[in-house]
Amino acid sequence: MTAVNDLVRPDRYPRSAAYDPAWLLDLDMGPNPLWLLEDLARDLDPRPGARVLDLGSGMGATSVFLAREYGVRVVAADWWVGAERAAAVFAAAGVGDRVEAVHAEAHALPFADESFDAIVSIDAFEYFGTADGYLPYLLRFLRPGGQLAVATPAMTREVREMGAIPPHVKAVVGWEAIAWHTPAWCGSSGRSPNSSRSPPRGSRRTAGGTGCCGRAPARRRTRRSGRRTSGSSTCSPRTRARTSASHC
């Protein structure tokens, strides 16, 4: 019971504290996603009515949170969890009218260009987003000036520098950690890192988390002509370190 109560921290996560920890654990697919999102959202600008893509939404706790807390319209896209299952979660949470569940693979998203005011991805980007070409692909779905916010596990040193995944990390998450990078890596290619976080999933000093929250350029490259009108091809840094959750 104490462990469950530890999931309620009104001092640091006042919005998340209003959610039943048993409900959260029931939907659990990783370390407290609401804390990660609540932190990131302080750097986001989730205006009521905005259209937000929750990419890799899993069982949907973060999508419920976005709809309830910020009054945004959410598209919850996930690959492992079917749309029907997620839709049942949204209906039960009373946000079925504001959250649409979509079964989609992150490299073949069924959306028109510039469909979203913001894209949020909590503890999921590491599964599909680490190739250099992914950010430019994803950003096409953001309207100009829209925001991208990502929270992902991270290493304090690159695995390739260490020569192997640290055993204590591998024991917990296995080969998955090969896709975990450092905040500095996240800061390359136009990514905007936040700070390193406390260790996730029982791991120790070599791992933590990193987060990006950036804004798409106001005007972007015209894709057909390839002419660059202004800005970079990826999100630009806007925010600073904020979260202290296990991922960010």
Residues between 37 and 96 with contacts to ligand SAM, criterion CB under 6 A: 56-58, 61-62, 78-81
Shortest reach from residue 27's CB to ligand SAM, in Å:
7
Residue 29 binding ligand SAM, by CB under 6 A: yes
Name the residue nearer to ligand SAM (CB basis): 64 or 235: 64
Is 109 among the residues that bind ligand SAM (CB under 6 A)? Answer: no
Q: Cβ 88 to ligand SAM, closest distance in Å? A: 15
172 binds ligand SAM (CB under 6 A): no
Residue 246 has φ and ψ, to the nearest 5°, of -70, -30
Q: Choose, by CB under 6 A, the member of 23, 111, 127, 137 that binds ligand SAM.
A: 127
Give the integer Cα–Cα distance in Å for 136 and 107.
11
Instruction: Verify binding: residue 209, ligand SAM, rule CB under 6 A.
Output: no
Total residues at the site for ligand SAM (CB under 6 A)? 19
Residue 13 vs 79, nearer CB to ligand SAM: 79
- By the criterion CB under 6 A, which residues form the site for ligand SAM? 29-30, 33, 56-58, 61-62, 78-81, 105-106, 122-124, 127-128
